Structure 1
Amino acid sequence: MITAAALSLLLLTQAAAGACPVSADHVVANGGLDDSRAAVASGRLVILAMGSSSIEGAGASRPDLAFVPLLEAGLEGRLPGVEVTVINRGIGGETAKETADRLAREIAANQPDLVIWQLGTNDMLRDRPMDDVFADFRRGQAALDRAGVDVLLIDPQRLPEGTANPAFRGRNPALGEMARLIDLEGGRIGYAVVRRFSAMADWSGLERGGVGPDDLHLNDAGYACWAEITAEGLAAALR
Protein backbone atom coordinates (compact mmCIF):
# COMPACT_ATOMS: atom_id res chain seq x y z
CA MET A 1 0.00 0.00 0.00
CA ILE A 2 1.43 3.37 -1.01
CA THR A 3 1.98 5.81 1.84
CA ALA A 4 0.80 9.42 1.82
CA ALA A 5 4.41 10.62 1.68
CA ALA A 6 5.22 8.31 -1.23
CA LEU A 7 2.08 9.43 -3.06
CA SER A 8 2.90 13.12 -2.65
CA LEU A 9 6.42 12.44 -3.90
CA LEU A 10 5.07 10.61 -6.93
CA LEU A 11 2.63 13.40 -7.75
CA LEU A 12 5.32 16.08 -7.41
CA THR A 13 7.68 14.17 -9.68
CA GLN A 14 4.97 13.64 -12.29
CA ALA A 15 3.96 17.31 -12.18
CA ALA A 16 7.57 18.43 -12.56
CA ALA A 17 8.15 16.02 -15.43
CA GLY A 18 5.13 17.53 -17.17
CA ALA A 19 6.48 21.06 -16.75
CA CYS A 20 10.09 20.50 -17.78
CA PRO A 21 11.53 18.30 -20.55
CA VAL A 22 12.90 15.04 -19.12
CA SER A 23 15.49 13.61 -21.48
CA ALA A 24 18.49 11.33 -21.19
CA ASP A 25 20.38 13.81 -23.39
CA HIS A 26 21.32 15.98 -20.40
CA VAL A 27 23.74 13.30 -19.13
CA VAL A 28 26.87 12.60 -21.18
CA ALA A 29 28.82 9.46 -20.20
CA ASN A 30 32.08 10.46 -21.95
CA GLY A 31 33.19 6.84 -22.11
CA GLY A 32 33.15 6.41 -18.32
CA LEU A 33 30.86 4.64 -15.80
CA ASP A 34 32.21 1.12 -16.42
CA ASP A 35 32.47 0.30 -12.70
CA SER A 36 28.97 1.63 -12.10
CA ARG A 37 27.60 -0.59 -14.88
CA ALA A 38 29.28 -3.56 -13.22
CA ALA A 39 27.73 -2.56 -9.89
CA VAL A 40 24.28 -2.37 -11.50
CA ALA A 41 24.81 -5.81 -13.01
CA SER A 42 25.62 -7.10 -9.51
CA GLY A 43 22.38 -5.67 -8.13
CA ARG A 44 23.79 -2.97 -5.83
CA LEU A 45 24.94 0.56 -6.68
CA VAL A 46 26.43 2.98 -4.12
CA ILE A 47 26.69 6.66 -5.05
CA LEU A 48 28.41 9.37 -3.03
CA ALA A 49 26.98 12.86 -3.69
CA MET A 50 29.43 15.70 -3.00
CA GLY A 51 29.02 19.44 -3.41
CA SER A 52 27.33 22.39 -1.81
CA SER A 53 23.81 23.48 -0.84
CA SER A 54 21.97 22.01 -3.82
CA ILE A 55 23.33 18.57 -2.92
CA GLU A 56 22.64 19.20 0.76
CA GLY A 57 19.03 20.08 -0.16
CA ALA A 58 18.66 23.75 0.82
CA GLY A 59 15.36 25.20 -0.38
CA ALA A 60 13.38 21.95 -0.40
CA SER A 61 10.24 22.05 1.73
CA ARG A 62 11.00 18.58 3.13
CA PRO A 63 14.19 16.50 3.20
CA ASP A 64 12.65 13.80 0.98
CA LEU A 65 11.91 16.37 -1.74
CA ALA A 66 15.56 17.34 -2.23
CA PHE A 67 17.82 16.14 -5.03
CA VAL A 68 19.53 13.17 -3.36
CA PRO A 69 16.45 11.22 -2.18
CA LEU A 70 14.63 11.99 -5.43
CA LEU A 71 17.62 10.75 -7.44
CA GLU A 72 17.78 7.55 -5.40
CA ALA A 73 14.06 6.92 -5.96
CA GLY A 74 14.32 7.80 -9.65
CA LEU A 75 17.20 5.40 -10.23
CA GLU A 76 15.55 2.53 -8.35
CA GLY A 77 12.43 3.01 -10.45
CA ARG A 78 14.47 2.87 -13.65
CA LEU A 79 16.81 0.05 -12.60
CA PRO A 80 14.48 -2.74 -11.42
CA GLY A 81 16.09 -5.23 -9.07
CA VAL A 82 19.00 -2.93 -8.24
CA GLU A 83 19.46 -1.63 -4.69
CA VAL A 84 20.52 1.99 -5.11
CA THR A 85 22.01 3.97 -2.22
CA VAL A 86 22.82 7.66 -2.69
CA ILE A 87 24.79 9.09 0.24
CA ASN A 88 24.39 12.83 0.83
CA ARG A 89 27.61 14.61 1.76
CA GLY A 90 26.71 18.07 0.48
CA ILE A 91 27.78 21.06 2.58
CA GLY A 92 26.18 24.43 1.90
CA GLY A 93 28.55 27.17 0.80
CA GLU A 94 31.39 24.95 -0.35
CA THR A 95 33.59 25.86 -3.28
CA ALA A 96 35.58 23.39 -5.36
CA LYS A 97 38.47 23.85 -2.91
CA GLU A 98 36.59 22.59 0.15
CA THR A 99 35.08 19.67 -1.73
CA ALA A 100 38.47 18.65 -3.14
CA ASP A 101 39.93 18.84 0.38
CA ARG A 102 37.56 16.16 1.69
CA LEU A 103 37.01 13.90 -1.32
CA ALA A 104 39.59 11.29 -0.32
CA ARG A 105 38.29 10.77 3.20
CA GLU A 106 34.64 10.69 2.12
CA ILE A 107 35.43 8.07 -0.53
CA ALA A 108 37.37 5.99 2.01
CA ALA A 109 34.50 6.21 4.51
CA ASN A 110 31.69 5.35 2.08
CA GLN A 111 33.28 3.10 -0.59
CA PRO A 112 31.12 4.28 -3.50
CA ASP A 113 31.00 2.93 -7.02
CA LEU A 114 30.21 6.41 -8.34
CA VAL A 115 30.98 9.90 -7.02
CA ILE A 116 28.74 12.80 -8.01
CA TRP A 117 30.59 16.13 -7.78
CA GLN A 118 28.43 19.25 -8.08
CA LEU A 119 30.63 22.30 -8.49
CA GLY A 120 31.04 25.78 -9.87
CA THR A 121 28.12 27.86 -8.62
CA ASN A 122 29.67 29.16 -5.40
CA ASP A 123 33.03 29.63 -7.09
CA MET A 124 31.51 31.97 -9.66
CA LEU A 125 29.34 33.82 -7.12
CA ARG A 126 32.49 34.53 -5.12
CA ASP A 127 34.39 35.68 -8.22
CA ARG A 128 37.10 33.05 -7.86
CA PRO A 129 39.52 33.01 -10.81
CA MET A 130 38.93 30.14 -13.21
CA ASP A 131 42.55 29.06 -12.86
CA ASP A 132 42.10 28.64 -9.11
CA VAL A 133 38.87 26.70 -9.53
CA PHE A 134 40.42 24.27 -11.97
CA ALA A 135 43.55 23.87 -9.88
CA ASP A 136 41.22 22.70 -7.10
CA PHE A 137 39.39 20.53 -9.60
CA ARG A 138 42.62 18.83 -10.59
CA ARG A 139 43.42 18.12 -6.93
CA GLY A 140 40.01 16.52 -6.63
CA GLN A 141 40.58 14.60 -9.83
CA ALA A 142 43.79 13.16 -8.39
CA ALA A 143 41.91 11.90 -5.32
CA LEU A 144 39.12 10.44 -7.45
CA ASP A 145 41.52 8.71 -9.81
CA ARG A 146 43.58 7.27 -6.96
CA ALA A 147 40.39 5.81 -5.52
CA GLY A 148 39.47 4.29 -8.88
CA VAL A 149 35.83 5.42 -8.75
CA ASP A 150 33.52 6.54 -11.53
CA VAL A 151 32.67 10.24 -11.58
CA LEU A 152 29.61 12.24 -12.61
CA LEU A 153 30.14 16.03 -12.66
CA ILE A 154 27.21 18.42 -12.23
CA ASP A 155 27.69 21.91 -13.58
CA PRO A 156 26.28 25.16 -12.12
CA GLN A 157 22.65 26.19 -11.99
CA ARG A 158 21.02 29.14 -13.68
CA LEU A 159 19.85 32.12 -11.66
CA PRO A 160 16.64 34.04 -12.41
CA GLU A 161 17.33 36.76 -14.98
CA GLY A 162 14.97 39.13 -13.19
CA THR A 163 16.53 38.72 -9.76
CA ALA A 164 16.35 41.73 -7.46
CA ASN A 165 19.47 40.59 -5.61
CA PRO A 166 22.40 42.69 -6.85
CA ALA A 167 24.84 39.92 -5.87
CA PHE A 168 23.15 37.56 -8.37
CA ARG A 169 22.26 39.98 -11.18
CA GLY A 170 24.13 39.33 -14.42
CA ARG A 171 25.84 36.15 -13.17
CA ASN A 172 24.51 33.71 -15.75
CA PRO A 173 27.19 34.36 -18.40
CA ALA A 174 29.95 33.42 -15.92
CA LEU A 175 27.95 30.42 -14.69
CA GLY A 176 27.42 29.35 -18.31
CA GLU A 177 31.13 29.64 -19.04
CA MET A 178 31.91 27.50 -16.00
CA ALA A 179 29.40 24.94 -17.25
CA ARG A 180 31.08 24.94 -20.67
CA LEU A 181 34.52 24.36 -19.16
CA ILE A 182 33.26 21.57 -16.88
CA ASP A 183 31.74 19.91 -19.93
CA LEU A 184 35.06 20.15 -21.77
CA GLU A 185 37.00 18.76 -18.80
CA GLY A 186 34.59 15.86 -18.43
CA GLY A 187 35.06 14.94 -22.06
CA ARG A 188 38.83 15.30 -21.84
CA ILE A 189 39.32 13.05 -18.80
CA GLY A 190 36.40 10.65 -19.22
CA TYR A 191 34.08 11.84 -16.44
CA ALA A 192 30.35 11.78 -17.05
CA VAL A 193 28.59 15.17 -16.91
CA VAL A 194 25.08 16.36 -16.08
CA ARG A 195 24.43 19.54 -18.05
CA ARG A 196 22.24 21.22 -15.45
CA PHE A 197 22.82 24.80 -16.62
CA SER A 198 21.57 24.16 -20.16
CA ALA A 199 18.70 21.98 -18.92
CA MET A 200 17.37 24.80 -16.74
CA ALA A 201 16.92 27.01 -19.81
CA ASP A 202 13.91 24.81 -20.67
CA TRP A 203 12.26 25.02 -17.24
CA SER A 204 9.95 27.89 -18.14
CA GLY A 205 6.98 25.71 -17.19
CA LEU A 206 8.09 25.73 -13.55
CA GLU A 207 7.24 28.39 -11.03
CA ARG A 208 10.20 30.82 -10.91
CA GLY A 209 12.06 28.50 -13.29
CA GLY A 210 12.52 25.98 -10.51
CA VAL A 211 14.33 28.45 -8.20
CA GLY A 212 13.03 29.46 -4.78
CA PRO A 213 12.26 32.94 -3.40
CA ASP A 214 15.88 33.59 -2.42
CA ASP A 215 16.77 33.50 -6.17
CA LEU A 216 19.46 30.89 -5.50
CA HIS A 217 18.31 27.58 -4.05
CA LEU A 218 16.01 25.33 -6.04
CA ASN A 219 12.40 24.86 -5.01
CA ASP A 220 10.63 21.49 -4.83
CA ALA A 221 9.76 21.48 -8.53
CA GLY A 222 13.30 22.46 -9.47
CA TYR A 223 14.76 19.62 -7.42
CA ALA A 224 12.24 17.21 -8.96
CA CYS A 225 13.19 18.23 -12.51
CA TRP A 226 16.92 18.08 -11.80
CA ALA A 227 16.59 14.64 -10.20
CA GLU A 228 14.44 13.38 -13.06
CA ILE A 229 16.84 14.41 -15.83
CA THR A 230 19.77 13.01 -13.87
CA ALA A 231 18.04 9.70 -13.15
CA GLU A 232 16.83 9.39 -16.74
CA GLY A 233 20.24 10.02 -18.26
CA LEU A 234 22.27 8.08 -15.71
CA ALA A 235 20.01 5.04 -15.81
CA ALA A 236 20.18 5.01 -19.61
CA ALA A 237 23.98 5.12 -19.44
CA LEU A 238 24.12 2.31 -16.86
CA ARG A 239 21.70 -0.14 -18.42
Structure 2
Amino acid sequence: MMPMFHALPRLALLLLLTACAAAAESLPTATPQVPEQVSDAGWEQDMQRFAAEDATSPPPAGAVLFIGSSSIRLWDTLAADFPGVTVINRGFGGSEIRDSTWYADRIVVPYRPRLIVLYAGDNDLNSGRSPRQLLQDFRDFVLRVRRDLPDVRIAYIASKPSPSRAALLDTQRQANALIQAEAARQPHLDFIDVFTPMLDASGQPREELFIADRLHMNRTGYALWQRLIAPYLPPR
Protein backbone atom coordinates (compact mmCIF):
# COMPACT_ATOMS: atom_id res chain seq x y z
CA MET A 1 0.00 0.00 0.00
CA MET A 2 1.35 3.46 -0.98
CA PRO A 3 2.14 5.64 2.05
CA MET A 4 -0.28 8.56 2.45
CA PHE A 5 2.48 11.20 2.17
CA HIS A 6 3.35 9.83 -1.30
CA ALA A 7 -0.27 9.69 -2.52
CA LEU A 8 -1.17 13.26 -1.56
CA PRO A 9 1.15 15.06 -4.01
CA ARG A 10 -0.19 12.94 -6.90
CA LEU A 11 -3.77 13.61 -5.83
CA ALA A 12 -3.08 17.33 -5.60
CA LEU A 13 -1.53 17.31 -9.07
CA LEU A 14 -4.52 15.43 -10.50
CA LEU A 15 -6.94 17.94 -8.96
CA LEU A 16 -4.89 20.85 -10.32
CA LEU A 17 -4.87 19.42 -13.84
CA THR A 18 -8.61 18.79 -13.70
CA ALA A 19 -9.25 22.37 -12.59
CA CYS A 20 -7.06 23.78 -15.37
CA ALA A 21 -8.89 21.73 -17.98
CA ALA A 22 -12.25 22.91 -16.72
CA ALA A 23 -11.07 26.52 -16.75
CA ALA A 24 -9.82 26.19 -20.29
CA GLU A 25 -13.16 24.81 -21.44
CA SER A 26 -14.94 27.76 -19.86
CA LEU A 27 -12.84 30.38 -21.68
CA PRO A 28 -14.67 32.13 -24.54
CA THR A 29 -13.41 31.22 -27.96
CA ALA A 30 -11.83 34.09 -29.87
CA THR A 31 -13.84 35.58 -32.68
CA PRO A 32 -11.91 35.18 -35.93
CA GLN A 33 -10.44 38.51 -37.01
CA VAL A 34 -11.47 37.97 -40.60
CA PRO A 35 -14.50 36.22 -42.10
CA GLU A 36 -14.30 32.94 -43.94
CA GLN A 37 -14.81 34.63 -47.31
CA VAL A 38 -11.42 36.38 -47.24
CA SER A 39 -10.16 33.54 -49.41
CA ASP A 40 -12.72 34.48 -52.08
CA ALA A 41 -10.98 34.05 -55.43
CA GLY A 42 -12.46 37.30 -56.69
CA TRP A 43 -10.74 39.27 -53.95
CA GLU A 44 -7.45 37.51 -54.58
CA GLN A 45 -7.82 38.59 -58.19
CA ASP A 46 -8.27 42.15 -56.92
CA MET A 47 -5.07 41.82 -54.88
CA GLN A 48 -3.20 40.57 -57.92
CA ARG A 49 -4.60 43.38 -60.04
CA PHE A 50 -3.46 45.93 -57.47
CA ALA A 51 0.00 44.35 -57.41
CA ALA A 52 0.19 44.50 -61.20
CA GLU A 53 -0.83 48.16 -61.20
CA ASP A 54 1.80 48.92 -58.57
CA ALA A 55 4.47 47.13 -60.59
CA THR A 56 3.57 49.13 -63.72
CA SER A 57 3.14 52.48 -61.99
CA PRO A 58 4.37 52.49 -58.38
CA PRO A 59 2.28 54.98 -56.37
CA PRO A 60 4.26 57.58 -54.43
CA ALA A 61 4.63 57.37 -50.67
CA GLY A 62 2.62 59.94 -48.74
CA ALA A 63 -0.51 59.72 -50.88
CA VAL A 64 -4.07 59.52 -49.59
CA LEU A 65 -5.26 55.92 -49.64
CA PHE A 66 -8.96 55.21 -50.15
CA ILE A 67 -9.77 51.65 -49.12
CA GLY A 68 -12.91 49.63 -48.46
CA SER A 69 -15.92 48.21 -50.22
CA SER A 70 -17.73 48.90 -53.48
CA SER A 71 -18.51 52.54 -52.69
CA ILE A 72 -14.76 53.09 -52.95
CA ARG A 73 -14.18 50.63 -55.78
CA LEU A 74 -16.83 52.29 -57.98
CA TRP A 75 -15.52 55.81 -57.35
CA ASP A 76 -13.93 56.06 -60.77
CA THR A 77 -13.67 59.87 -60.65
CA LEU A 78 -11.74 59.85 -57.38
CA ALA A 79 -8.59 61.54 -58.71
CA ALA A 80 -10.60 64.15 -60.65
CA ASP A 81 -12.77 64.89 -57.61
CA PHE A 82 -9.70 65.71 -55.51
CA PRO A 83 -7.37 67.38 -58.03
CA GLY A 84 -4.99 68.82 -55.45
CA VAL A 85 -4.39 65.47 -53.75
CA THR A 86 -2.48 62.36 -54.80
CA VAL A 87 -4.96 59.52 -54.23
CA ILE A 88 -4.82 55.72 -54.43
CA ASN A 89 -8.02 53.70 -54.84
CA ARG A 90 -7.89 50.24 -53.29
CA GLY A 91 -11.57 49.44 -52.95
CA PHE A 92 -12.68 45.85 -53.49
CA GLY A 93 -16.36 45.14 -53.84
CA GLY A 94 -18.46 43.59 -51.10
CA SER A 95 -15.64 43.71 -48.57
CA GLU A 96 -15.98 44.30 -44.85
CA ILE A 97 -13.71 46.11 -42.39
CA ARG A 98 -12.12 42.81 -41.41
CA ASP A 99 -11.09 42.20 -45.00
CA SER A 100 -9.17 45.47 -45.17
CA THR A 101 -7.46 44.43 -41.94
CA TRP A 102 -6.62 41.03 -43.43
CA TYR A 103 -5.09 42.55 -46.57
CA ALA A 104 -3.39 45.51 -44.88
CA ASP A 105 0.08 44.08 -45.48
CA ARG A 106 -0.64 44.11 -49.23
CA ILE A 107 -2.76 47.19 -49.89
CA VAL A 108 -2.13 49.55 -46.97
CA VAL A 109 1.30 49.29 -45.39
CA PRO A 110 3.40 49.21 -48.61
CA TYR A 111 2.02 52.60 -49.73
CA ARG A 112 3.07 54.47 -46.57
CA PRO A 113 0.11 56.84 -46.97
CA ARG A 114 -0.19 60.05 -45.02
CA LEU A 115 -3.95 59.48 -44.68
CA ILE A 116 -6.16 56.40 -44.97
CA VAL A 117 -9.81 56.97 -45.84
CA LEU A 118 -11.78 53.83 -44.96
CA TYR A 119 -15.29 53.04 -46.08
CA ALA A 120 -16.70 49.72 -44.94
CA GLY A 121 -19.50 48.82 -42.59
CA ASP A 122 -22.86 48.48 -44.27
CA ASN A 123 -21.92 45.13 -45.84
CA ASP A 124 -20.78 44.02 -42.39
CA LEU A 125 -24.04 45.01 -40.72
CA ASN A 126 -26.07 43.54 -43.56
CA SER A 127 -24.29 40.21 -43.09
CA GLY A 128 -25.18 40.14 -39.39
CA ARG A 129 -22.37 41.95 -37.57
CA SER A 130 -23.61 43.91 -34.58
CA PRO A 131 -22.72 47.58 -33.96
CA ARG A 132 -20.34 46.57 -31.17
CA GLN A 133 -18.70 43.96 -33.37
CA LEU A 134 -18.26 46.63 -36.04
CA LEU A 135 -16.63 48.90 -33.47
CA GLN A 136 -14.21 46.13 -32.53
CA ASP A 137 -13.51 45.46 -36.21
CA PHE A 138 -12.65 49.14 -36.64
CA ARG A 139 -10.37 49.03 -33.61
CA ASP A 140 -8.65 45.95 -35.02
CA PHE A 141 -8.07 47.76 -38.32
CA VAL A 142 -6.53 50.74 -36.54
CA LEU A 143 -4.31 48.52 -34.40
CA ARG A 144 -3.14 46.51 -37.41
CA VAL A 145 -2.29 49.57 -39.47
CA ARG A 146 -0.56 51.39 -36.63
CA ARG A 147 1.61 48.39 -35.93
CA ASP A 148 3.56 49.42 -39.04
CA LEU A 149 2.40 53.01 -39.51
CA PRO A 150 2.11 54.38 -35.97
CA ASP A 151 1.50 58.02 -36.91
CA VAL A 152 -0.79 57.65 -39.92
CA ARG A 153 -4.10 59.49 -39.78
CA ILE A 154 -7.20 57.39 -40.45
CA ALA A 155 -10.55 58.85 -41.51
CA TYR A 156 -13.59 56.59 -41.29
CA ILE A 157 -16.53 57.33 -43.58
CA ALA A 158 -19.79 56.59 -41.77
CA SER A 159 -21.91 53.68 -42.91
CA LYS A 160 -24.19 55.21 -45.54
CA PRO A 161 -27.99 54.89 -45.61
CA SER A 162 -29.16 53.13 -48.77
CA PRO A 163 -32.80 52.75 -49.88
CA SER A 164 -32.32 49.01 -50.48
CA ARG A 165 -31.06 48.59 -46.90
CA ALA A 166 -33.39 50.97 -45.11
CA ALA A 167 -34.10 48.25 -42.54
CA LEU A 168 -30.53 48.78 -41.28
CA LEU A 169 -30.96 52.47 -40.45
CA ASP A 170 -31.22 52.09 -36.67
CA THR A 171 -28.35 49.60 -36.60
CA GLN A 172 -26.24 51.94 -38.71
CA ARG A 173 -26.97 54.84 -36.38
CA GLN A 174 -25.76 52.80 -33.43
CA ALA A 175 -22.62 51.62 -35.21
CA ASN A 176 -21.79 55.09 -36.49
CA ALA A 177 -22.23 56.60 -33.02
CA LEU A 178 -19.88 54.02 -31.48
CA ILE A 179 -17.18 54.58 -34.10
CA GLN A 180 -17.58 58.35 -33.92
CA ALA A 181 -17.01 58.21 -30.16
CA GLU A 182 -13.96 55.99 -30.70
CA ALA A 183 -12.54 58.45 -33.22
CA ALA A 184 -13.03 61.31 -30.76
CA ARG A 185 -11.23 59.34 -28.06
CA GLN A 186 -8.10 58.49 -30.05
CA PRO A 187 -5.52 60.77 -31.68
CA HIS A 188 -5.21 60.89 -35.48
CA LEU A 189 -8.68 59.44 -36.07
CA ASP A 190 -11.46 61.24 -37.90
CA PHE A 191 -15.10 60.36 -38.40
CA ILE A 192 -16.75 61.69 -41.56
CA ASP A 193 -20.53 61.84 -41.24
CA VAL A 194 -22.08 61.08 -44.62
CA PHE A 195 -25.05 59.35 -42.99
CA THR A 196 -26.99 62.45 -41.91
CA PRO A 197 -26.67 64.42 -45.19
CA MET A 198 -27.86 61.37 -47.15
CA LEU A 199 -31.23 61.37 -45.39
CA ASP A 200 -34.27 63.29 -46.55
CA ALA A 201 -36.58 65.42 -44.40
CA SER A 202 -38.48 62.32 -43.27
CA GLY A 203 -35.29 60.54 -42.17
CA GLN A 204 -35.17 58.12 -45.09
CA PRO A 205 -32.32 57.59 -47.58
CA ARG A 206 -32.39 60.09 -50.43
CA GLU A 207 -33.36 58.16 -53.55
CA GLU A 208 -31.82 60.73 -55.91
CA LEU A 209 -28.31 59.82 -54.69
CA PHE A 210 -28.46 56.25 -55.95
CA ILE A 211 -28.44 54.25 -59.17
CA ALA A 212 -31.21 51.80 -60.07
CA ASP A 213 -30.07 49.13 -57.59
CA ARG A 214 -30.76 51.61 -54.75
CA LEU A 215 -27.53 50.52 -53.05
CA HIS A 216 -24.69 52.13 -54.99
CA MET A 217 -24.35 55.86 -55.54
CA ASN A 218 -24.68 57.87 -58.73
CA ARG A 219 -22.68 60.99 -59.61
CA THR A 220 -24.89 63.14 -57.38
CA GLY A 221 -24.10 60.87 -54.44
CA TYR A 222 -20.38 60.98 -55.10
CA ALA A 223 -20.49 64.76 -55.49
CA LEU A 224 -22.00 64.94 -52.01
CA TRP A 225 -19.25 62.67 -50.64
CA GLN A 226 -16.60 64.79 -52.34
CA ARG A 227 -17.84 67.91 -50.55
CA LEU A 228 -18.00 66.14 -47.19
CA ILE A 229 -14.60 64.42 -47.44
CA ALA A 230 -12.54 67.23 -49.01
CA PRO A 231 -11.99 69.16 -45.73
CA TYR A 232 -10.25 66.10 -44.23
CA LEU A 233 -7.73 65.63 -47.05
CA PRO A 234 -4.26 67.17 -46.86
CA PRO A 235 -3.00 69.01 -49.96
CA ARG A 236 -0.52 67.32 -52.26
TM-score w.r.t. structure 2 length? 0.65
Distance 1:47 1:203 in 2: 33
CA distance 1:123–1:213, change in 2 (3 Å): same
Q: Please give the per-residue CA displacement for 1:132-166, whole angstroms capped at 9, x wherever unaligned.
A: 32332222111222212111111111122xx5xxx
Counterpart of 2:66 in structure 1 is 49
Change (3 A) 1:183 1:207: closer
Deviation at 1:187, TM superposition (A): 0.6
Partners of 2:117 and 2:156 within 8 A in 1: yes
Paired position in structure 1 for 2:116:
115
Q: Does 1:101 align with 2:111?
A: no
CA distance in 1, matches of 2:169, 2:210: 14
Q: Secondary structure at the match of 2:142?
A: helix
Pairing 1:167-182 to 2, within 5 Å after superposition: 168-182=165-179
SS in 1 for 2:86: strand
Tell me which moved more, 102-111 or 212-221.
102-111
- Aligned pairs for 1:61-210 within 5 A: 63-64=76-77, 68-73=78-83, 76=84, 84-146=85-147, 147-148=149-150, 149-160=152-163, 163=164, 168-190=165-187, 191-201=189-199, 208-210=207-209
Does the aligned pair in 2 maintain the 1:95–1:119 contact within 8 Å? yes
Cα displacement string for residues 60-114 of structure 1 (whole angstroms, at most 9, x for unaligned residues): 6xx33xxx234422xx1xxxxxxx2110001110111111112233233212111
- How many angstroms apart in 2 are the aligned matches of 1:144 and 1:116? 12
What per-residue deviation string (whole Å, max 9, x for no partner) do you get for residues 185-211 of structure 1? 11111301110101212699x982311
**Distance in 1, Cα, partners of 2:102 & 2:156:** 17
* AA of the residue aligned to 1:55: I
Classify the secondary structure of the residue corresponding to 1:156.
Answer: coil
Task: Extract structure 1 runs of 4+ deviating beyond 3 A.
Answer: none
Percent same amino acid at aligned positions? 27
RMSD (Å), alpha carbons:
2.7
Ranges in structure 1 where 5+ consecutive residues have no aligned partner? 1-43, 77-83
Do the aligned partners of 1:194 and 1:230 also contact (CA within 8 Å) in 2? yes
Structure 1 counterpart SS, 2:108: helix
Most deviating of 212-221 and 194-203: 194-203
Q: CA deviation at 1:169?
A: 4.1
Q: What is the alpha-carbon distance in structure 2 between the residues aligned to residue 137 and residue 216 of structure 1?
A: 22
C-alpha separation between the residues in 1 aligned to 2:118 and 2:91? 9
Partner Cα distance (1:217, 1:228) in 2? 18
Q: TM-score, normalised by structure 1?
A: 0.64
Residues 192 and 88 of structure 1: is their aligned pair in 2 closer, same or farther, counting only changes over 3 Å?
Answer: same
In the comparison of the two structures, how many residue pairs are matched? 171
CA distance in 2, matches of 1:219, 1:203: 20
Q: Which has the higher contact order (CA 8 A, sep 6+)?
A: 1
Q: Secondary structure at the match of 1:214?
A: coil
Residue identity in the other structure for 1:156: S
Residues 161 and 198, structure 2, Cα contact 8 Å, conserved in 1: yes
Matched with 1:217 is 216
